[in-house]
């Protein structure tokens, strides 16, 4: 089988058969060296390069090259935002094996927020200076498109100036099928209700042989990419993610990144790539350990090297803890996500990082890594650059 360099033309359809297994890659240290030189010369890396880099034992070498590439694009600026998560419901029709958040209707701990509850959270967020509300939830069997547009309107009413980044491709697909509408129509209605952009969740791992094992009832990888393509073509930006550290192999991770790179080539609609470390508790997957620190850093670095058409790579502190997330700022990441305030999905799955980080702490974490904090909007426009460390105390 050919390499996946020009990913879009080589990506197999999401139907399982043995021939779709990824190409075999033979690794060698000279291949690692040539991939690194290619990256430094600004050349595009291949599937083989990605696999070789991922396996390289010289962590700091990989980090130094990724750091160099990041500094060329972003300098010492590190982005964060003041945001708030709201998960409107955890009732979900799907049963993804890695998920500890979802509940079936009537199950213990199942919840669906009322309009007041959502409105209250949005108001508190706006009062505390949030510029973004991030909303994702389960696939509630009884919610219709009108419930979703209502949620957005409720938020917009309570917090008119806040950017609403909400609903993953998985939720959009579910709504479109329920309403028997085109995804584009669903997106248009949400946009008209006030939605500003889409988060990157639900991507997990696109590669079919992995996706089949972790979330076989979920939207396929190609389906996910299609929906983001549609959104981008309608002028809406979105994020993208990868859930790593469970059962996937290195090839699947590299394949996943290349599929995103191919779509970014086509639309340039992604803001940022966010690797999400798998959280091991309370789920059915049976993998009971956190990701390795070295793996977290390598994933950020490889993403920086491979995904040459992404300006922003995020090290999301909720998933890896603030110590590793901070270190990743020297491994190619230029964004830490935000204050978050009420994180449920990773916390229920055993994340040890808590639910919120104060803005003052975000500033300190970035400063302590010898970087300059820049508060950003959801779509990465700078809001304020904190040039003067003496002013941090006033935040």
Partner 1 sequence: MNPYSINCSRKPVWREFEKSIVQNTLPAGAGFQEAPTLEEINGRDSERQKVLNTESRESKVHDALMLAQISQTQDDRLKDAYQTAYEGRRLSGEQGQILLDSGDLNVLGWLATRAKERFHPRGKVSFLIDRNINYTNICRIGCDFCAFYRRGHEADSYVLPKEEIFKKIEETIELGGTGTLMQGGVNPHLKIEYYEDLFRSIKERYKIHLHALSVIEIEGIAQVSRLTVAETLERLKAAGLDSIPGAGAEILSDEIRLEQSPVKRHSHRWIKVMQEAHRANLPTTATMMFGALEERKHIIEHILRIRDAQDETKGFYAFILWTFQGENTELAKKNPNMQPTSGVEYLRVLAVSRLMMDNIPNIQGSWVTMGPKIGQISLHYGANDMGSIMIEENVVSAAGTSYTLDRKNMIELIRRSGFTPVQRDTYYNILAEYPETPAQ
- Choosing from 6, 8, 12, 27, the residue that interacts with partner 1 (CB under 8 A) is 27
Query: Taking CB under 8 A as the criterion, which residues in 107-126 touch partner 1?
Result: none
**73 touching partner 1, by CB under 8 A:** no
Q: Which is nearer to partner 1, 55 or 104 (CB)?
A: 55
**294 touching partner 1, by CB under 8 A:** yes
Contact 151, 182 (CB under 8 A): no
Q: Which two tokens stand for residue 55?
A: 């396996």
* Residue 386: strand pairing partners: none
Point out which span in 24-32, 158-166, 183-191, 262-270 binds partner 1 (CB under 8 A): 24-32
**65 touching partner 1, by CB under 8 A:** yes
**Element spanning 270, H or E:** strand 270-277
- Choosing from 43, 58, 281, 391, the residue that interacts with partner 1 (CB under 8 A) is 58
Other C-beta atoms lying within 10 Å of the C-beta of residue 10: 15
Cα four-point dihedral sign 225, 228, 230, 235: negative
Other C-beta atoms lying within 10 Å of the C-beta of residue 164: 24
What is the layout of strands, in order, in the sheet containing 335-338? 335-338, 77-81, 372-376, 382-385
H-assigned helices in the chain: 7-10, 29-40, 47-55, 59-74, 115-127, 145-158, 169-179, 183-193, 208-214, 221-233, 250-267, 293-306, 317-320, 322-327, 345-348, 359-368
Cα four-point dihedral sign 236, 266, 242, 359: negative
Site track for partner 1 across 74-93, x = CB under 8 A: --------------------
Point out which span in 16-24, 178-186, 235-243, 336-344 binds partner 1 (CB under 8 A): 16-24
**41 touching partner 1, by CB under 8 A:** no
**290 touching partner 1, by CB under 8 A:** yes
Q: Which is nearer to partner 1, 44 or 361 (CB)?
A: 361
Q: Give the binding site for partner 1 (CB under 8 A).
A: 16-19, 21, 24-25, 27-29, 32-33, 36-37, 40, 51, 55-61, 63-65, 67-68, 97, 208-210, 212-213, 247, 249-251, 284-287, 289-290, 292-297, 320-324, 326-327, 329-330, 364-365, 368-370
């Amino acid at each position: 089988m050919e390499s996946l360099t020009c990913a879009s033309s080589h990506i197999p359809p999401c139907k399982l058969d043995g021939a779709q297994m990824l190409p075999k890659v033979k690794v060698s240290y000279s291949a690692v060296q040539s991939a690194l030189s290619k990256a430094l010369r600004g050349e595009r890396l291949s599937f083989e390069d990605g696999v070789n880099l991922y396996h390289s034992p010289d962590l700091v070498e990989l980090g130094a090259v990724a750091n160099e590439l990041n500094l060329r694009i972003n300098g010492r600026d590190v982005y964060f935002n003041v945001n708030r998560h709201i998960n409107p419901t955890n009732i979900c029709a799907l049963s993804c094996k890695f998920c500890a958040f979802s509940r079936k209707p009537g199950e213990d701990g199942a919840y669906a927020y009322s309009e007041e509850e959502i409105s209250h959270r949005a108001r508190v967020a706006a009062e505390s200076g949030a510029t973004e509300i991030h909303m994702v939830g389960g696939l509630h069997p009884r919610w219709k498109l009108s419930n979703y547009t209502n949620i957005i309107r409720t938020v917009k009413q309570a917090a008119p100036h806040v950017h609403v980044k909400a609903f993953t491709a998985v939720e959009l697909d579910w709504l479109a099928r329920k309403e028997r509408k085109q995804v584009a129509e669903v997106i248009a209605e949400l946009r008209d209700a006030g939605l500003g952009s889409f988060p990157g969740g639900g991507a997990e791992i696109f590669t079919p042989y992995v996706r089949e094992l972790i979330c076989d009832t979920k939207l396929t990888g190609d389906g996910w990419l299609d929906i983001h393509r549609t959104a981008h073509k309608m002028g809406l930006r979105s994020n993208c993610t990868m859930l790593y550290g469970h059962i996937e192999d290195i090839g699947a991770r590299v394949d996943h990144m290349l599929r995103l790179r191919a779509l970014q080539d086509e639309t340039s609609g992604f803001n940022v790539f966010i690797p999400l470390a798998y959280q091991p508790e309370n789920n059915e997957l049976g993998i009971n350990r956190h990701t390795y620190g070295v793996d977290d850093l390598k994933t950020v670095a490889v993403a920086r090297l491979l995904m040459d058409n992404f300006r922003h790579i995020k090290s999301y502190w909720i998933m890896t803890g603030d110590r590793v997330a901070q270190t990743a700022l020297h491994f190619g990441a230029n964004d830490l996500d935000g204050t978050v305030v009420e994180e449920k999905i990773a916390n229920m799955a055993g994340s040890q990082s808590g639910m919120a980080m104060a803005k003052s702490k975000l500033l300190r974490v970035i400063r302590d890594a010898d970087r300059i904090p820049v508060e950003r909007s959801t779509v990465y426009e700078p809001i304020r650059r904190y040039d003067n460390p003496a002013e941090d105390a006033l935040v």
